[in-house]
Amino acid sequence: MKSKTTPSFLYILPNLFTMSSLFAGFYAITLLSSPANKSTFVYAGFALLFATICDMLDGRVARLTGTQSDFGMQMDSLVDLVSFGIAPALLVYKWGLADFGFWGLLAAFSFAGAGACRLARFNVMEMQKKTGGASRHFVGLPIPLAAGMLISTIIYHEVSTGSALYKNSSFGILGLTIVLSYLMVSTIRFRTFKDIRINPQSLAVIAVVMGFAIFGAVAFSPAFSLVTLFAIYVAGGLLAEVVGYCGRLLRGVRVTSR
């Protein structure tokens, strides 16, 4: 619902970022619809990474301008399905899964299907919220981050070693696609970082992460830094889940032993 004090034109701003994300996803699909080669994969991958940036900005712009709306949430989910579900699934299929025939097609579809389920669950949970405020965790791996992990891996392989590594990576990308599909529909929690406040501690963490990314970009390649950052986020969520599970298990043992 629109606020009476918010100018109507401000509602266009977050939607411009959302539509830019959709355009990038559509552009990637058009590239992949023609016979694909190394440059096609790289250009499509960068287009989808641009879509990821736009997706990060639309929600933040909406919160800063006070223009959050149910319409914006639903449109964002529809765009996410195209740019982070369908387009990456097509990219990974043409890059490394087509050789598996039907099973490669099924694996690529599982990514798109899991992404659709993840988005639907997110929307339902958002509508059922009783209290406002930013949540500390996502339930399941967000589809833009799952797509980012997949896309950055493909870009790194292409810009680093090209076809030589491609021929040895089919089973690896198949496994990665299946794992990311599962993580999206799982109940594993991943940090949103929406609750982080700007203070010396958070600035120090950001500085360390940026320093690591710059070092990786200089020592190896920017693509290496990108895929490593996505991998750290995914691994961090899995590690936190394991630690939390072990903690709950130990507490249960202590209770039963009393």
Q: Which of 13, 17, 11, 97 is nearest to 53 (CA)?
A: 17
Q: DSSP 3-state assignment of 195?
A: coil
Q: Check residue 165 and give its pLDDT.
A: 45
Which residues of the chain are modeled with pLDDT < 50? Answer: 1, 163-167
The C-alpha atoms of residue 89 and residue 4 are separated, in whole angstroms, by 42
Look up residue 229 and give its two tokens. Answer: 């950052």
Q: Check residue 80 and give its pLDDT.
A: 94
Q: DSSP 3-state assignment of 190?
A: strand
Q: Check residue 167 and give its pLDDT.
A: 46
- Give the torsion sign (CA, 48, 54, 57, 59): negative
User: Domains of the chain: which residue ranges?
Assistant: 8-194
The C-alpha atoms of residue 51 and residue 43 are separated, in whole angstroms, by 12
- Residues 103-125 as b or e (16 or more Cβ within 10 Å = b): ebeebbbbbbbbbbebbeebeee
CATH homologous superfamily of 8-194: CDP-alcohol phosphotransferase transmembrane (TM) domain (1.20.120.1760)
Q: Which of 129, 38, 145 is nearest to 84 (CA)?
A: 145
Q: Check residue 149 and give its pLDDT.
A: 94
Q: Which of 178, 162, 218 is nearest to 92 (CA)?
A: 178
The torsion of the CA quartet 185, 188, 192, 197, rounded to 10 degrees, works out to 170
φ/ψ (deg, to 5) at 66: 65, 35
What is the three-state SS of 137-189?
A: EEECCCHHHHHHHHHHHHHHHHHHCCHHHHCCCHHHHHHHHHHHHHHHHCCCE
